[in-house]
Amino acid sequence: MAGGLPRRILKETQRLISEPVPGIIAKPDENNGRYFKIVVDGPQESPFEGGKFNMELFLPEEYPMTAPKVRFTTKIYHPNIDKLGRICLDILKDKWSPALQIRTVLLSIQALLSAPNPDDPLANDVAEQWKSNESQAMETAKAWTRLYANSPQS
């Protein structure tokens, strides 16, 4: 797996495996150490509770100077995540810093699931629903979690 990966990626990967983030499983691809399959447990006390959400994380050549590319592959009803699974999160865009790590990104995404921010949406229709009728949006999010995020993980 180590096929010429930078030491930093090897160290971060090792730490993710030896000290996993609670509620998150991150496994590097055996053929490409820059590609990770991630499973995030829906946070407790959120409409995503009980769900298991699959994500992909890819470290570009320029990492850590540029942010990892992360997207959900499980459908999710969330104002900051669009239909393609792209995530609106400042540290994945303009607030990225080489001091941040894969671990930080995963914790931030987990926090975003606990606290959706409809004022900085990626899915405008979902954000509008979240703002105009939060309880209905939460019900839809729970229904989508039951529908899409409860299948056994591969």
Q: Which listed residue (25, 70, 88, 137) is catalytic?
A: 88
* Residue 88 annotated as catalytic: yes
CA–CA dist 131, 108 (Å, integer)? 22
Name the residues annotated as catalytic.
Answer: 88
